[in-house]
Structure 1
Amino acid sequence: MTPPTPSSFLLLTLSFLLLLSPSHSLGTASTLALSSSSLTVCGLSADQSAHSLRCYSALHRLSFSLPPSSASFSLLSGAYDSICGLRSGGYSILCWDKLSSPSLSPPKRIYYSPANVLTTISLGDSHLCGLLNGTGRLICLRGGDSFRLPPQDQNFSQVSSGSGFSCGILTNGSVVRCWGSNSLAASIQNEFGDMPMLSLEAGGHHVCGINLTGLVVCKGRNDFGQLDVPFNLPLEYSMLSLGASHSCAIRRLNKTVICWGGDGNYSLKDIGGVYFELIASGVNFSCGLVTSNFSILCWGPGWPSRSGNSTVQLLPLTGILPGPCVDVGSCDCGIYAQSQSLCSGNEIICSPCEIEPEMPPALPPRGPFPSSTPPSKSLSKKLLAFAIVGSVGTFLGLCTAIYILWTRSCLHRKKVHNSVQPTITKASSNNNSSNSNNNPLSRSSTIRRQGSRIMRRQRSGPSSKHGDRAEEFSFSELAAVTNDFSTENKIGAGSFGIVYRGKLPDGREVAIKRGETGSKLKKLQEKESAFDSELAFLSRLHHKHLVKLVGYCVDMDERLLVYEYMKNGALYDHLHRMDEVDKSGSLINLWTMRIKIALDAARGIEYLHNYAVPPIIHRDIKSSNILLDGNWNARVSDFGLSLMGPDLSLDGQQPLKAAGTVGYIDPEYYGLNVLTAKSDVYGLGVVLLELLTGKRAIFRNGGEGSAPMRLVDYAVPAIMAGELTKVLDKRVPSPDVIEGEAVELMAYTAMHCVNLEGKDRPTMSDVVMNLERALAICNGSSHGSISSEGISIIAE
């Protein structure tokens, strides 16, 4: 169902909950801990009545257990040359220091109090902090006077320690408070300000956490790019882990790991298909607990191989707990599936709780310089010029607003809605070459033969010759042809209401979208906005791959739009609801037809971007908004969220609050609130992947009960690895040699469309040209080969 407005889009996004697993960093409690200087990794063992510490030292290349072997622990925390463990029950802390020494020293008992048990601990380079059970009161041990008196009269929900400082999240208000022996603590606390946080992780000299919108926020030093979070979407990550100069995270949907910072020395390209339950970081390496067998994998420049080079190594440690074993009845959010095989007796491992994040507010305007720094004279002149230009722009904007209001007024007075046929101008060719992809992808020999020239812009198919008038209907007329909007005539939903099938007195079959009725002012305003948007756009747009508007109705609070009826319904239903559509005449399970549908949709969107005056950005491209007429021609529908864009040939941008549908929305638009024509390209890229795989934009890869997965994360790695056949829709017969090249071309086109950054995506004209070539291959006109002019996905 299409969300009526950005406000209802927020509600849809909130349904995708942030799964907050226990997070782990340089000095945060977990069942996995690292000691950096000794290159020691320890984990809590499973399948034993006593969960003791099993360790591996890369320095000495041996596995060992830390005494006492009879003691049972619930959590561990590691730092530079030490590891500390919280005894099961939380009443005692034991620490093993100088792990790099050849002779292992016995543990030191740092804390003992059966009356004041701890829920967690956090070890920094020289200090140790913990939280008291039931109160969240903070205690800090070791570290000198700067840690003897942590923030008073404050209770914390989490605590994490870095190099010479610790930070925590206050129970009241969820804001960050930091303390320690250096000025970095105060600096990081000031940078976070009053931003509420859900989780917090400390590294050597920086801190990252997940805020209430589900975004990762990092503060502190950024000498090596450790604050520069890639692909930072809400709900993207569930777990963070920080080292001295790098940061890592587990992707929430598929449990793979991504790292950033460290001058690019923490690449995980060799283990991209490994899934992790948890991760932890030392100063210059990280380790993770592998989901498949609960073994430990380590990587990073600080982790040596047998040859002395940095490497990825699977350690000889298996059967490590993915979470602490607790007493039955202690879990608030369910039990981990494999608890029975990992814990003993009546112990269980708790599943992480689901937290419902809020949506991010609109980004504040960014000034040209910090408020604390006065501008130079030359900069002042530039700002004055900018202010003058801005004033002119504001004046023009007011004129535009007045014009729109005047147009709406005329709409309500006239019986026939007049439209303006947009002038179609030929887009200029772009002769500039661009190599936007610095990392060439692994392609088949057919694709590798192709050059890297940028595609020429070309005009899409001719516009259909529709009339320029939208009829006005009475409410009673439309109620009569839909049998009083009966449920039997309901065929779907659109951006602001329900869609019904009807037949006009002259025999024309139509689809009638009726705005949802309600008394709340906000809902009425949203409905009015979506209604006006669709009417304004469709009454002046006429193209054979856009749904035609027949008429409209304005009657009191009722708002209805009348479209031509699309006999074969929505593409989404044919791909994902096969049991609900008539399969007798369906051609959807032919590769040629799927490529043709993709091309039709691309041509419709290209018309909006390049030939509508002014250009239009659809903002909600998805398979349910691509309809199929009686001849299986695809048409783009639902313009309730569309906006008139700037001159898209210049790739202009609009700072707008994100709107769209989860799974299809451009991550750059969602994260930065910056809209370009490339946002529609991303949405179409997801639709192309749907056509290729038969999967929904977000689906459960393991069936019911499994974690949701994005189609982009599922399909793109296979395409990049040259394993397209593994993800192709099995309902469609395997493509022959000729079809295979066409499908491959469509797949690589889709892969480039869903690039993270808009600048790396092709234009819609580029997409049209590639799909035209793919369809020509399918039809045999190219004799099964792709010439050097056939593939050209280079972003502008």
Structure 2
Amino acid sequence: MSSIVAGGQHVCGYNLNGSLICKGNNSSGQLSPPSGGSFSKLALGLNYSCAIRDSNHSVVCWGGGGEYSSNLTLGVSFESIVSGLDFVCGLSSGNFSIICWGPGWSSDGYSGVYLPLPSILPGPCVQSSCSCGIYPDSQKLCSRSGLICLPCSSPSPSSSTVSPPPSPSVSSSPSKPLRRGLLAFAIIGSVGAFVGICTIVYCLYTGVCFGRKKIHNSVQPTITRTGSIPGHMSSNNSPPSRSSTIRRQSSRAMRRQRSGTSSTKHTERADEFTFSELAAATNEFSLENKIGAGSFGVVYRAKLADGREVAIKRGETGPKTKKFQEKESAFQSELAFLSRLHHKHLVRLVGYCEERDERLLVYEYMKNGALYDHLHDEKNLEKSCSFVNSWKIRIKIALDAARGIEYLHNYAVPPIIHRDIKSSNILLDENWTARVSDFGLSLMGPESECEFWPLKPAGTVGYIDPEYYGLNVLTTKNDVYGLGVVLLELLTGKKAIFKSENDNGGVPTSVVDFAVPEIMAGELGKILDRRVGPPELNESEAVELVAYTAMHCVNLEGKDRPTMTDIVANLERSLALCDDSHGSISTCSISIGSE
């Protein structure tokens, strides 16, 4: 399937041939779309389905007893539609206003209601030219500071024949001369975009465009724990203890010192190995040497001919791997990024192998495996069973990972967005120093912090930024969300998605939904990992600051999240607050993997 949308008890989607397929409960005819014509932009409710016709952008609904076929929408073209359980809302093409209808919206079930909202943007405002034309009045909608591009797969929107509501302005369909002009503008813009892309690629390849680094600082919201959090908490539920603030470190020198020695270019080139060398090092990729899996393959522990202990990631082969392009993309991504990145909190690339269909990457071996295994392995059930069952150690691991991500965002040129920050991608070396790994999904950051990305969102369920998943906006704040989930894992000991012990039905729960309400209510003690034990006097404020930092990291909107620099500053302060006297910390033999 190329896309899929879920309703109450049914799903519909398009297969790779563009055919609409519906499965599930058909009690109200919700699986039987009308014949003739093609549809797009599905919206499914409890017992009905709706879609936009490709021919004229009108809405057609089926199922639900016919209660969703409103006369008010006849002749109206739509840019997008969404459904509730028993009502539908759409963005009209003629005046970019919202209209809603259905039995859950009005008493008779048929009357539509225009919402008294200003014109809604049908897409992002961009400064560059558009390949497939622009929306009418896009400059006005963008306050004359940009254009809104028409989607290439959709026809130009037509004007609504229905009288518009009083507030939004109505724009008529563009005239033929204007359309010709838009077409010429699109062609010229496409050529210009192609030349621009070539220039950017040349700059990235040669490095001539980057004379100096750009470091972006953004002012973040202040977290005050002496009173209530505006919009979240009443004064009766004020969080305990002293106030803490997300601090900014504006000194560039201090930031470099904090993040450690780093360089965006390797002084040593990654070694190129033969396939036979790596096969021998892993005993022909035997299962006993398998220690994990990454974004595109399986990871093996190995010992090279010169005695070095390494981890080798091998891209999947055989009939299972039909998407060779994805494997190749992940391989090239990791090779490109890790070959030019060097930081003590990023896993170091030792070498690679590229022979026929084989794609292998060789990393330094992380003796103590992945953070995920220490937090969630079944053998780590008792307080004495893991080195990480200490608040100071957990905060230190969080700080290490944050410094690695901060380096990617602020010091790599151009900036890099990891896109798959999770506890299984935070590895621990023999000294228990944490390092970020697995760059198979990483991308160079966009120039704008509000830029739509042409690729489908990628990541891991439970860690992926809901704003990125829903709006396809790629920013550094996507990684901030993932790290926020990891911080909540460290605090609670729960997986990103887990089954509640108190729920007999075993309904999956997000650690964000589990932890954030308790943090906001000042009941942090209820959710802390019992394996670590209650924080000591000085640890209490440190753990509390980590919790409030995590809470802000997982805000729904990226603009409300702190930057990695702010997070590093907070975690540094938390670590400084920890007391050095922590009883004995012992380790136990558990099977841990490395990705």
- TMscore range, shorter length: 0.5 to 0.7
CA contact (8 A) 2:239 2:521 kept: no
Match of 1:741 in 2: 541
Query: In the alignment, is residue 184 of structure 1 matched against residue 72 of structure 2?
Result: yes
In structure 2, what is the Cα distance between the partners aligned to 1:773 and 1:227?
50
Match of 2:492 in 1: 693
Change (3 A) 1:567 1:451: closer
- Give 1:463 shift: 2.6
Superposition pairs of residues 352-501 of structure 1, within 5 angstroms = 364=151, 371-372=158-159, 373-374=172-173, 391-400=191-200, 425=213, 427=215, 439=231, 441=233, 443-446=238-241, 449-450=243-244, 456=250, 458-459=255-256, 460-463=258-261, 467-501=267-301
Q: Percent identity?
A: 55
- Give 1:621 shift: 0.6
Question: Deviation digits for residues 178-236 of structure 1, max 9, x if unmatched?
Answer: 446xx325368x6499x8x9x8644xxxx23xxxxxxxx65799xxx9989xxxxxxxx
Change (3 A) 1:159 1:618: closer
In structure 2, what is the Cα distance between the partners aligned to 1:749 and 1:688?
9
CA contact (8 A) 1:719 1:751 kept: yes
- Give 1:502 shift: 0.4
3, 6, 20: which is aligned to 2:8? 20
In structure 2, what is the Cα distance between the partners aligned to 1:768 and 1:551?
30
Match of 1:658 in 2: 457
Aligned residue pairs total 475
Match of 2:62 in 1: 170
In structure 2, what is the Cα distance between the partners aligned to 1:552 and 1:178?
58
Question: Deviation digits for residues 442-501 of structure 1, max 9, x if unmatched?
Answer: 542545x45677664733422368742100011111111111000000000001100000
Change (3 A) 1:568 1:383: farther
Q: State the secondary structure of the residue aligned to 1:553.
A: strand
CA contact (8 A) 2:8 2:85 kept: no
Match of 1:270 in 2: none
In structure 1, what is the Cα distance between the partners aligned to 2:447 and 2:48?
50
Match of 1:623 in 2: 423
Match of 1:731 in 2: 531
673, 681, 689: which is aligned to 2:472? 673
Match of 2:338 in 1: 538
CA contact (8 A) 1:553 1:561 kept: yes
- Give 1:392 shift: 3.6
In structure 2, what is the Cα distance between the partners aligned to 1:657 and 1:747?
31
In structure 1, what is the Cα distance between the partners aligned to 2:202 and 2:215?
30
Change (3 A) 1:674 1:399: same
- Give 1:738 shift: 1.3
Change (3 A) 1:175 1:540: farther
- Give 1:384 shift: 9.1
Amino acid at match of 2:8: L
- Give 1:560 shift: 0.2
CA contact (8 A) 1:752 1:760 kept: yes
In structure 2, what is the Cα distance between the partners aligned to 1:393 and 1:668?
27
Amino acid at match of 1:682: Y
- Give 1:393 shift: 3.7
**Structure 1 or 2: larger helix share?**
2
In structure 1, what is the Cα distance between the partners aligned to 2:381 and 2:277?
29
Change (3 A) 1:580 1:509: farther
Amino acid at match of 2:231: N
CA contact (8 A) 1:482 1:489 kept: yes
TM (normalized to structure 1)? 0.51
CA contact (8 A) 1:656 1:675 kept: no
CA contact (8 A) 1:491 1:500 kept: yes
Which stretches in structure 1 are left out of the alignment for 5+ residues? 1-6, 23-118, 121-130, 137-155, 161-166, 209-216, 229-239, 246-260, 264-362, 408-418, 782-796
Change (3 A) 1:637 1:385: same
Question: Deviation digits for residues 268-327 of structure 1, max 9, x if unmatched?
Answer: xxxxxxxxxxxxxxxxxxxxxxxxxxxxxxxxxxxxxxxxxxxxxxxxxxxxxxxxxxxx
Q: State the secondary structure of the residue aligned to 1:751.
A: helix
CA contact (8 A) 1:600 1:635 kept: yes
Match of 2:379 in 1: 579
In structure 2, what is the Cα distance between the partners aligned to 1:507 and 1:424?
40
718, 741, 748: which is aligned to 2:518? 718
Match of 1:43 in 2: none
Change (3 A) 1:655 1:220: closer
In structure 2, what is the Cα distance between the partners aligned to 1:629 and 1:469?
22
CA contact (8 A) 1:698 1:710 kept: yes
Change (3 A) 1:765 1:519: same
CA contact (8 A) 2:478 2:558 kept: yes
- Give 1:753 shift: 0.6
Q: State the secondary structure of the residue aligned to 2:270.
A: strand
CA contact (8 A) 2:466 2:556 kept: yes
- Give 1:751 shift: 0.6
In structure 2, what is the Cα distance between the partners aligned to 1:543 and 1:734?
34
TM (normalized to structure 2)? 0.67
In structure 2, what is the Cα distance between the partners aligned to 1:383 and 1:135?
39
Question: Deviation digits for residues 52-90 of structure 1, max 9, x if unmatched?
Answer: xxxxxxxxxxxxxxxxxxxxxxxxxxxxxxxxxxxxxxx
Match of 2:584 in 1: none
Over alpha carbons, which structure has the higher Rg? 1
Question: Deviation digits for residues 745-774 of structure 1, max 9, x if unmatched?
Answer: 111111111111111111111111111111
Amino acid at match of 1:671: G
In structure 2, what is the Cα distance between the partners aligned to 1:428 and 1:159?
47
Match of 2:399 in 1: 599
Which stretches in structure 2 are left out of the alignment for 5+ residues? 11-25, 33-44, 50-58, 108-114, 118-149, 160-171, 582-595
In structure 2, what is the Cα distance between the partners aligned to 1:704 and 1:475?
50
In structure 2, what is the Cα distance between the partners aligned to 1:380 and 1:651?
30
Superposition pairs of residues 305-316 of structure 1, within 5 angstroms = none
Amino acid at match of 2:259: G
Match of 1:761 in 2: 561
Superposition pairs of residues 320-331 of structure 1, within 5 angstroms = none
Q: State the secondary structure of the residue aligned to 2:340.
A: coil
Amino acid at match of 2:338: L
- Give 1:640 shift: 0.3
Superposition pairs of residues 494-573 of structure 1, within 5 angstroms = 494-518=294-318, 522-573=322-373
In structure 1, what is the Cα distance between the partners aligned to 2:79 and 2:546?
45
In structure 2, what is the Cα distance between the partners aligned to 1:568 and 1:472?
26
- Give 1:557 shift: 0.6
CA contact (8 A) 1:159 1:200 kept: no
- Give 1:571 shift: 0.6
In structure 1, what is the Cα distance between the partners aligned to 2:392 and 2:432?
12
Root-mean-square deviation (CA), in Å? 4.8
CA contact (8 A) 2:220 2:563 kept: no
In structure 1, what is the Cα distance between the partners aligned to 2:339 and 2:422?
22
In structure 2, what is the Cα distance between the partners aligned to 1:423 and 1:186?
57
